[in-house]
Amino acid sequence: MFTLYLKEIKSFFSSIMGYIIIGVFLIVTGLFLWVFPNYYNIFEAKTADLQGLFNLSCYLFLFLIPAITMRSFSEEKKTGTIELLFTKPISDWQIIIGKFLACVTVLVIALLPTIIYFISIWKLGDPIGNIDTGSTWGSYLGLLLLGVTFVSIGIFASSITNNQIIAFLLGALFCFFIHFGFEFIYSLEVFGSFGSVIKSIGIEHHYIAISKGVVDTRDIIYFITVTFIFLFGTKIVLLSRKW
């Protein structure tokens, strides 16, 4: 599994597309947080926190992460190398986890440079260091959990097609619906008291709380559960080749 993990990371960074995806994320967040006058701009907000980053990133992840995961299984299917992969002494779960961890690693690499934003706010604060460090790291945990969940969704989307573009579109669509869809259904107010249950199924309900640095074990369990469901869904798709 470790060999597959390294192969996936190497494959991602062997093409210019990998650098473009990470570069676009960092450039867009940097421009919106520090340059463009907008709701997320740190200077306009006049508050020493990174809430703008965490709010903005959930939208960027809808496209960034499907772009990272789109080739994980679809390319293997298109080139026929997936059959060769299945002949190796490695289980389906090891294949899935290897690809999953590789995509999560790429996500972490994309997030690491944003620590510069934290250092900048630390230096610019009045007085210096006037930033809620605990809340910020809690928010980073929430952003990472959101990203990990989106990775599992993207891998599932990639497993059901041999076309990378379709895998990207499906991944973005699935992520969008699970993030905002249940919140929209809840806003219709046609389910009465049951509406709160529907709302809690969606990611946004849990991400809003944890992105503010409020770490609740119920939210953590939610993200872990959704991640497992989609990885298990990928396992079922891979099993279907034997039917």
pLDDT bin (cut points 50, 70, 90) of residue 225 is very high
Distances (CA, A) of 205 to 23, 66, 80, 219: 29, 21, 40, 9
pLDDT above 80: residue 239? yes
pLDDT above 90: residue 47? no
What are the domain boundaries of the chain?
Answer: 2-242
Highest mean pLDDT among 78-82, 101-105, 199-203: 101-105
Residues 6+ apart with CB under 8 A from 105: 5, 9
Q: Which backbone phi and psi does 214 adopt, to 5 degrees?
A: -90, 100
pLDDT, mean of residues 12-18 = 88
Higher-confidence residue of 8 and 46: namely 8
Using only C-alpha atoms, the chain has a radius of gyration, in whole angstroms, of: 19
Percent of the chain with pLDDT over 90: 57
pLDDT at 19: 92
The CA distance from 128 to 134, in Å, is 16
pLDDT at 186: 77
Residue listed under structure tokens 């993990």: 5
pLDDT at 25: 96
pLDDT, mean of residues 43-70 = 90
